[in-house]
Chain A
Amino acid sequence: MAKYQQQFTAANAALIVIGNGQPTDLPGFSELTGYSGKLFTDPTLKSFKALGFTRKVSGIFATSALVGGLKALKDGYRPGTMQGDALQLGGAVVVGPGALLYYYFRGQQAADHPPVEEILHSCRDDHPPLHN
């Protein structure tokens, strides 16, 4: 996400990354990923659960997750020691201003990442909310 920060700023949108480890893990995450923007964590997983994001063993051992992990390594992403809940998968939402939802993505496997171009597109002023 680090390389997309400027594009979100240009779209007048805030990019916020939320993990699920401890607060003390966050500096290491920034160092590893190069992401220097807004970074938070939810060790309780309540926000992940509220969004319906998947937490399952099969999500991290699926074949496509392994392929995705290998691709990430090839692209220069090197996972360190897992911190937080290893079974919890991620996702993305775009909200606001106000209580309007513009984008929703739920990862099904460990290697699933929301397409950043889709997220950016949903940040455009003329993009309608998913439902009113």
Chain B
Amino acid sequence: MKSAHDFDIGSFGTLPVLDAQGKSHKLLSFWAEQRAAMVFVRHFG
């Protein structure tokens, strides 16, 4: 099972997420200039 020590932030940061318009954003853009708290949720509509 993975832990905090098992993932590479550099490669993680290259992964894309989508906004409501479907536009892609790399995760690393969130923490380039400030600390970013990212909460990954189960998705309720």
Contacts and interface: CB of A to CB of B under 8 A. Distances in A.
Contact of B43 (A20, A92, A131): A20
A18 B24 CA distance: 13
Main secondary structure of the interface of A (DSSP, over half): mixed
Interface of B: 1-7, 9-13, 15-22, 25, 27-28, 30-45
A47 interface: yes
Interface string A2-33: 00000010011111111111011111110011
Interface of A: 1, 8, 11-21, 23-29, 32-33, 38-43, 46-48, 50-53, 79-86, 88-104, 106, 110, 114, 119-120, 122-123, 130-131
Given A40-B17, A101-B9, A52 B1 contact: yes
A127 B14 CA distance: 25
B27 to A, nearest CB: 6
Contacts of B28: 99
